Amino acid sequence: MKNLIIVLVVCSKCGAHLGHVFENEYGPGTRRYCINAVCLAWQEEDKIKRFE
pLDDT: which is higher, 49 or 1? 49
Say what the pTM is.
0.58
Which are the catalytic amino acids?
A: 34
Q: Specify whether the CB–CB gap between 47 and 34 falls below 8 A.
A: no
Residues 6+ apart with CB under 8 A from 10: 16, 17, 18
Over the stretch 10-21, which tens digit does the pLDDT of each residue have? 988 899 999 999
Mean pLDDT calculated for residue range 2-16: 86
